[in-house]
Every structure is written in structure tokens, then in C-alpha cells.
Structure 1
Amino acid sequence: MNNLINSINGLLWGSVLMYLLLGAGILFTIKTRFVQVRRFSMALKIMLGSRVTDCSTHVSPFQAFCTSLAARIGTGNMAGVAVAITMGGPGAVFWMWVIAVLGMSTSLAENVLAQLYKTNNGDGTYRGGPAYYIEKALGQRWLGIIFSIALIIAFGFAFNSVQSNSIAAAFTGYGIPAEAIGIGLAILSSLVIFGGIRSIAKVAEMIVPIMAFCYLGVALVIVFMNISELPAVFTLIFKSAFGLESAAGGGVGYMVSQAMQQGIKRGLFSNEAGMGSAPNAAATAHSNHPANQGLMGMLGVFMDTIIVCTATASIILMSGVMDGSSATGIELTQLALVSQIGPIGQHLVAGAILLFAFSSIIANYYYGESNLRFIFDNNWLVNAYRVAVLGMVIWGATSNLPTVWAFADASMGVMALINLTAILVLSGIVVKVLKDFDDQVKAGVTPVFNRRKFPFLDKTMDADVWTEHSSGPVDGADKAQVKRNPVAGG
């Protein structure tokens, strides 16, 4: 069984998905006219102005953004970067940046589609994601079900057990039994997940900014402590990426290929652009225009890889602990922190893992719930799923998980393969919706989405979404109102 899973992972992640994800990123970058560059500042403005929604029962765009970040920013941002640098050299960081910049456009595309084809829960909230737009836009419910099953396995069960395991491992030095950590984590998680998407979004809105800014604050302290070495670190990253610091010959080609492979692979695992996970959070937002959440999805990739992963890379490379050390993964990051700020570094890593992993657990859980409701919308079944997730959290804290990791990678690979195929087929819709957004920006109004302007979309979307601004063309009075109330919408 293990050999079969490893063979599937080798095929998917060794060649097929790497080229498909790169190709999708390049295609969407071109078709959207480099949206990640030309609309980056607007994305920041939308994100900063999206915390307030016109109704307390709604999930705000900022809450949806934080929920997606909660799943994205996890232990991989500390351990994964360390592995990439260990196996691919400092140049792997450069290729992580490259895949993140390209992935920003892919993330926009999948988030736009998730918003277009979301489902109204009837209580002021929405749900959606790849399974939903695969069924509604492509008419392939069976394929959506396969995607949902793969996501539930990977995010609902496997990755949550891995996150729990990471927390237990981080606290082994404190004399706390792994069983106690698992049970405590399950109790804490239950207080959030049984409250549904509103509860999850509110907790994510509180935790994510705190954990991100605290971690970045520590990284900045270390950078300022070693500010004179900063130019040399960036020079090392760029030279290593292209083998310029090595002797000529076959060794250079191997080192460059390793840097590319590790950087691209770890970058994709970290920011999840194109995987089909983040759109499940994006669909929950109550927004003016689908492109709004698409732009915020771009920022999620940027925050995860360009900001947080770079912070970890800076901590490791500036510390110099790689010289003569065989440590890798989270151990390497921990050694780097301890070498710079003393024994408190070990406690900071443990605290960061606790916040990163806990926020990932609650967000991963919701991704699974949304897809379970796609297959069979039954409250009893959802409650059974919640109990099963909590069981996996307890089990994961005390177990050895290499097989779980391998199975999760295979499930995630199936997700990405299905989702990328879908968004590439639906790329024309993304381009048209983004053009509608751009045209309104050029006209000097806050963009709102009128579904009646898109007859094909109007027929394939649910009848009870995107209705607030869709009774007809937006006239002058409506434009004035939209300017006054920039976050109202469907």
C-alpha cells in the first residue's frame, strides 16, 4: 500500500502537478494582464477596508481572508522552508518567490469562481469552492464529489492529525504528555468548530493577525541584529538559485535543479495556490464583486510565501546555524532562533507552532464541512464528522504519521489535478468578470457585480446569490450609494 501511495505521489508531485501549476500560473498571469502587479495596491486597500460588513450575520471579506490564511500559514512555514533550504540550498528561497508570484494569479482565478458559484445557506452565510463550481459551471457533479472526498481526507482528517502531532512534538520538552495535549487541543477546537463558520471566521480574525505580526516581529528583530549581513544573504539566495557561487560543470546543473525543485514544491505546499483549498474560505465572504475576494486571495499567497516564508528563511540564513549542523525541519528553525535570541527562542517556536497549527485545524475542519455538505447536506452527518475530526486530533498527537503524510499528499494531488483542470477550462469566465471589475474601476466607481450583465453566468449560478445589485444597470444614484457603502453586496 505504501509503495502504491509513494508511486502516485512521485508521479503527481514529481512531474505532472509541478508543470501544471507552473503553466496555470503563467497562463493566468498573461490572461489577467499581470493582475498581481497592476492591482496589488488595490488589493491591499480592499483588504484593509473589508473588516466591517453591513450585517452582523454575514462573514466579512476580511474574516474569509483570515480563515484562508489560517489554513495556509501553518507549521510548513517554519519546517517546510527549513527543509527546502537544507535540500535545495539558499537558492530554493528564490524559486519559492517565483512560484508565489505566479500563483497569485491562479489564486485570484479560483477565488473569483468560488464567489460566483457560491451557495446561500439561508442564514446570511454562504459556502462554496471547487466542488460547487465544478458542478454548476461544468455540470460534472461526480467530479465535484471526487474532489470533495479528496479534500475531506486531506484537510479534514490527515492534515489535522499532522498539525496536532506538530504541537505535541513542540511541547515534548515541557513535560506535558502527548495524550493530554491531544485531548486539550480537541476540547479547544470543539469550542470553535461546533459554532460553525461564523465562529471559525471570528476566531481566525483574532488569531491570524496576532500570530503573523508576532512572528514577523521576531524575524525583523533578527534582521536588524544582523543588518550588515542582509545584502550578503540576498546575494547568496540569487547566486545559489542559478548556481553562480559554484564551480562550473555538471554539479552546477544539479544544484540549480535541486533549488528549483525544492523551492517550487515547498512553495506550492505552503501557499496552496491552485490546490482548491482556499476557495472554500473565499466563498463564505459577503462581498461587492467576485474580483474583490480574488484580489484578497492574491494577498493570501503573498503573505504566506513572500512574507512569512521569507521571514523564516532570513532567520535561518542570518543565524549561520546551517554550517556544521545536520538539523533540518522545525529543529533547524528552532536552533536558528536560539542562536540569535537565546533560550527564549525555543519557547517562541513552541508558541508559534501552537497558534499556527491550531488556526490551521479549525480552518481545515471547515473546508471539510463545506465539502461534506456538498455531497450530502445533513446536520447529523456534519456532527458525526466533527466528532471524527476531534478524534483525529487526539490520535495525531500520539502517533507516528509518515503514512498519513503520504496519503494526504496523494489526496491533495488529486484535489489540485481536478481543480486546475476546472479553472483552466473556466478561465474565460474569470477574464470576463475581472474585465467588468477593471471597467468599473476605470469609470471611477466602486465595483459591484450585476449578474444580469452575464447571461450565461446568470443561468448557471444559484438564483439567490448576487441579487442585491442585479435588478438592472447601475445608475448614477446607485453609484453614489456604492461609493458611500463600499462593502455592501451579495
Structure 2
Amino acid sequence: MGDFFRKAVKKTNADGSITPFQATTAALASTIGAANIVGVPVAIAFGGPGAVFWMWVVAMIGMATKYAEVVLGVKYREKNAEGEWVGGPMHYIEKGLGWKPMAMFFAFFLMIEIGASSMVQSNSLSKNVEVAFNVPPVVTGLVICFLVALMTIGGVKRVGAVTAKFIPFMVVLYLGAALIILFANVTAIPQAFALIFSSAFAPAPAAGGFIGAGVAMAIRWGLARGLYSNEAGMGTASIAHAAAQTDHPAKQGLWGMFEVTIDTLVVCTMTALIVLTSGVWQNVPADEANTMVVVALAEVIGSGLAGTFITVCLFFFVLSTIGVIVFYGEKQAEYLFGSFIAKIVRISYLVAIVVGAIGGLQFIWQFLDIMLALVVLPNIIALVLLSGEVKTITQDYITKLKQ
């Protein structure tokens, strides 16, 4: 088993624009962020502790989905006019299934969805920065716009280099804070796990400020937060992984599974334990669930320092998220219209960041879930129809590893 794992993660000098680790951190950058810090408490507030169990279920399914997406993304990748490796659902839908209209459909709606998502992300960050540091939202928007421009102007190599340094540090920093809270509430950890499992299959009764939740609500919120957090099924991760230096699609697919593990099974679980062991899920009203992590941390290190720490974490997480999804959107525009129009689309995203930060065009945000559905549906259809190829590629990889 040890030799098998060593061969699986062994570095190669294969074709690619960025290292496998850089591709992984780039994909992680688009998933680790506000959903991990804010989304998990919201799921618990409305779905009860049992929602965490269903998040884990989504993660287990998501590992297989993400693996298949990455495998196909690498198999059907190609070089663009600038010599960079590019790929993603639009490529494996067109080349694997021969359905170019559906590939264009996917690319168009993902391109639009990323504009709206960038605005939502920048708005959530600007509001937190305004409360914590009294900085006007437009200033936060301009700062994010400038930093994202620097991050994306160098293409996938710049994005990969930035996230490879950035994401591990931020994850370790956040998990360090989480461990401080868990250490302070260590005796409540067994009870927290008991609540997660018991509430997954039975209604969670009202307690304190928590109004109670049925099993259906636990499933609904757990599935929704899990899917939104790790993005398995959207196909976006395959856009980053298609640029990886790898000698076999299945080898890079294992990195995709690792993403889901870190994002949902580690970071989201730690956030859930913060909320449950500290008891804030019973004391903070559901409509203020996004403050639960801050409240829990404040009980240990003080409200001022806690608010500052979480806001700084959100700033860097959201910045990296926006930087990567802007790159994703640019690749959709490149696929549809060519590299020149892609650069214009990048500029439009940068403008959208500032507009979103000040709360503009909120009517567009209302269609975010609809656009997400229009992105997920063609990708899932492609994954199902191309599952035979994924199986063949996987069997070939296992055979080679055993040799």
C-alpha cells in the first residue's frame, strides 16, 4: 500500500502549465471561503446539527464526481493560442460527446454566473470589512479589483503560483483558530458528534435560541451547503486541473478527491464543531447565524480580536476565490469567442467586483441559483455518459501502478 501511494503522488516532468499541487490549490481557492466560515453555521441554524452529517454524505459522493471531472478535464485538454493547457466541461462535452451546442450552453451560463458570483463575494466581504474596520465598501471593492487584476493578468501560471503559497497558509491559520476554540470546549466534542448523528435521522428539538428542525430540513441544508462548498458537479475544478503537469488523467483525479476532503471533511467539519461545542448555535438567532464563528472565537480571545481575525480570514479567502473564478470565467469567454474577447470579459468582471461591493445590480444575484442549475445539469449529463471512459482510464492507471 505504501508503494502504491508513493507512485500515485510521485512528481513527473509531464506536459502541463502548472504543478499538480498548484492546480489543486487553485481549485481549492474557489471553494474554500465564505461558505466554510459562514455557510456551515447557517446550515446548522436552519437544519440543525444533523445537517453536518448530510454535508459529509455530499462530500463522499462529491469525491467521485470531482474525480471524474478532473480525469475528463485532463484527458480532453488542449493548448490554446498562448501555449497554455486549457480544458474543462466545455471541452469534454464537445470532444467526448460531440455536443458542441451543449458545450457552448455550459460555457455561456458559467461565464454569466461567475459575474454574479463575483459581485456576491465582494459584497459579503465589503460588508464585513465595513463593520470591522469602518472602511467604505467602494474602497474594499477597488482594493479587491486591483489585487484580482494582478493575480489574473499572468494567466494560469500566476494564479497557480499565488494560490500555492496562499491557500495552505490560510487553511492552517483558520484551523489553528478552530483548534483554540475546540481546546477550550474539548469536553463537548463527543456530545457534538452525538448530536450530528442523532439529528441526521430524527428531528432536532428546539433548544435555547434554536427553534428546532426536522430531518427534511437537515437533509435540505446539509446537501445544499455541501454542494455549494466543494463545487462537485459544477465541473469548475477541471478547468484548473487541466493545466496540471501530469502523466495520467487518473493521477490528477486523486488530487481532485483530496480537494473535497480538505474543503468539506476538514474545514467545514471544524467550523461545525466550533459552532456545536461552543453552544452558539443555541444562543445566536438564526438570522444572525453568519456571526456564530466570531461569537465562539470571541468567548476565547475577546470580541475585538475575534472580529478582526475572522474578517482578515474572509478577506484572503474571498480574494483568492474571486481571483480563481474570474480566471474560470475568462476561460469560458476564450472558448466561446477567443482570447481577445476573453480579456474584455476579464475587465467586465473587475468592474463587477466594485459594483458588487457597493451592493449594485442585486437583481442579478437573485438568479444565481438558476444559473448554477444551468451549469450543473449539462456537466452531470456529460459525467454520466462518459463514466465508461472514466472507468477505463482508472483501470489503466491502477494496472500501471501495480507494474
Q: Note if contact 2:13-2:246 (Cα within 8 Å) is conserved in structure 1.
A: no
Corresponding residue to 2:227 among 255, 265, 268: 268
- d(CA) in 2 for partners of 1:86, 1:402: 25
Q: Note if contact 1:153-1:408 (Cα within 8 Å) is conserved in structure 2.
A: no
AA aligned opposite 2:328: Y
Distance change in 2, residues 1:401/1:72 (3 Å): farther
Corresponding residue to 1:418 among 352, 365, 378: 378
Give 3-state SS (helix, strand or coil) of 1:437's partner: helix
Q: Note if contact 1:319-1:340 (Cα within 8 Å) is conserved in structure 2.
A: no
Shift of 1:202: 0.7
Q: TM-score, normalised by structure 1?
A: 0.77
CA-to-partner distance for each residue in 1:142-175, whole Å, 9 max, x for gaps?
11111001111112x1111111112111111212
- 1:300 is aligned to 2:292: no
Q: TM-score, normalised by structure 2?
A: 0.93
**In the comparison of the two structures, how many residue pairs are matched?**
394
- 1:75 is aligned to 2:34: yes
Corresponding residue to 1:141 among 89, 94, 100: 100
Taking CA–CA contacts closer than 8 Å with sequence separation of 6 or more, which of the two structures ends up with the larger relative contact order?
2
Runs of 4+ in 1 over 2 A off after TM superposition: 44-47, 53-58, 121-125, 244-247, 322-325, 327-330, 400-406
CA-to-partner distance for each residue in 1:361-413, whole Å, 9 max, x for gaps?
1110111111111112232x122112101100100110067533331211111
Distance change in 2, residues 1:374/1:122 (3 Å): closer
Shift of 1:191: 1.1
- d(CA) in 1 for partners of 2:245, 2:81: 13
- 1:382 is aligned to 2:333: no
Which of structures 1 and 2 has the bigger CA Rg? 1
Alignment-derived partner of residue 201 in structure 2: 242
CA-to-partner distance for each residue in 1:422-477, whole Å, 9 max, x for gaps?
1100000000000000111222xxxxxxxxxxxxxxxxxxxxxxxxxxxxxxxxxx
Distance change in 2, residues 1:342/1:152 (3 Å): same
Alignment-derived partner of residue 126 in structure 2: 168
Unpaired stretches in structure 1, ≥5 consecutive residues = 1-37, 248-252, 444-490
Shift of 1:312: 0.9
- d(CA) in 2 for partners of 1:211, 1:45: 29
% identical equivalent positions: 38
Alignment-derived partner of residue 23 in structure 2: 64
- d(CA) in 2 for partners of 1:103, 1:323: 30
Q: Note if contact 1:189-1:390 (Cα within 8 Å) is conserved in structure 2.
A: yes
Shift of 1:122: 6.0
Shift of 1:335: 1.6
AA aligned opposite 2:123: N
Alignment-derived partner of residue 362 in structure 1: 323
AA aligned opposite 2:189: L
Corresponding residue to 2:47 among 76, 81, 88: 88
Shift of 1:132: 0.4
Corresponding residue to 2:249 among 290, 294, 298: 290
Alignment-derived partner of residue 334 in structure 1: 294
Alignment-derived partner of residue 209 in structure 2: none
Alignment-derived partner of residue 282 in structure 2: 323
Distance change in 2, residues 1:55/1:319 (3 Å): same
Give 3-state SS (helix, strand or coil) of 1:59's partner: coil
When the two chains are superposed, the root-mean-square deviation of aligned CA atoms in Å is 2.2
- d(CA) in 2 for partners of 1:434, 1:57: 20
AA aligned opposite 1:176: V
Corresponding residue to 2:311 among 350, 374, 381: 350
Give 3-state SS (helix, strand or coil) of 2:247's partner: coil
- 1:223 is aligned to 2:182: yes
AA aligned opposite 1:377: G
Shift of 1:189: 1.2
Shift of 1:322: 2.3
Shift of 1:314: 1.1
AA aligned opposite 2:135: I
Shift of 1:228: 1.4
Q: Note if contact 2:76-2:95 (Cα within 8 Å) is conserved in structure 1.
A: yes
Alignment-derived partner of residue 163 in structure 2: 204
- d(CA) in 1 for partners of 2:7, 2:183: 28
Unpaired stretches in structure 2, ≥5 consecutive residues = 207-211
Give 3-state SS (helix, strand or coil) of 2:353's partner: helix
